Structure 1
């Protein structure tokens, strides 16, 4: 496999990496409604720019709605030599669920 699947709980640590590229494969409307920090739409221009990039060790996180269609882009990037490609297992839905659990936990501990 040319990529690694991550659970939403593992993403915050990855987001701390300064050189991380985050690609959102969802439609523009969904992206506008909310996305991961520093995410870019996985449009043709952003993908082409990434593929032409020289730093194939740069970490790349890809996500979609449920974590299925983003796997195709992960495989593509791995095929172009990227060595740190991650797919968000469960996609945006898993991230929102994780984020909501964190907010409830935080408010319970401060309330």
Structure 2
């Protein structure tokens, strides 16, 4: 595996994985207020302060999906996380914006249980 290798993931594939209860680690790298206003169910907010905990706690063999606003900055974060030893890293194409547009009924609010 290349040390900075990640894959692109489309919205519908992620929806299918969630429907199938596939084990995933979902991280959202948007700002805290945006995360609190809405995020993918089961995702955790990730900022620079939270990276050490993620690196210590997350199973590196479980697929890791990185979510941002539009699917741009998540690519850099996904490449970096792949370089940290995660085997299966994805950047969500279209980001949270496209997810919310296509699946408005599948948006969680607040921070409780998602950090």
Q: Is the structural similarity TM-score above 0.5?
A: yes
The correspondence for 2:89, drawn from 82, 85, 89, is 85
- Structure 1: which 5+ residue stretches go unaligned? 103-111
Match of 1:38, SS state, is coil
Quick check: 1:29 aligned with 2:33? Answer: yes
The correspondence for 2:66, drawn from 48, 62, 77, is 62
Q: Which has the higher helix share?
A: 1
- Aligned partner of 2:22 in structure 1 is 17
What's the Cα RMSD here?
Answer: 2.2
- Structure 2: which 5+ residue stretches go unaligned? 107-115
Contact 2:6 2:89 in 1 (8 A): yes
Q: Distance in 2 between matches of 1:17 and 1:48?
A: 25
Q: Distance in 1 between matches of 2:7 and 2:75?
A: 10
> If the length of structure 2 is used for normalisation, what is the TM-score?
0.77
Contact 1:40 1:46 in 2 (8 A): no
Using a 3 Å threshold, how does the CA distance of structure 1 residues 34 and 54 change in structure 2: closer, same or farther?
closer
> If the length of structure 1 is used for normalisation, what is the TM-score?
0.79
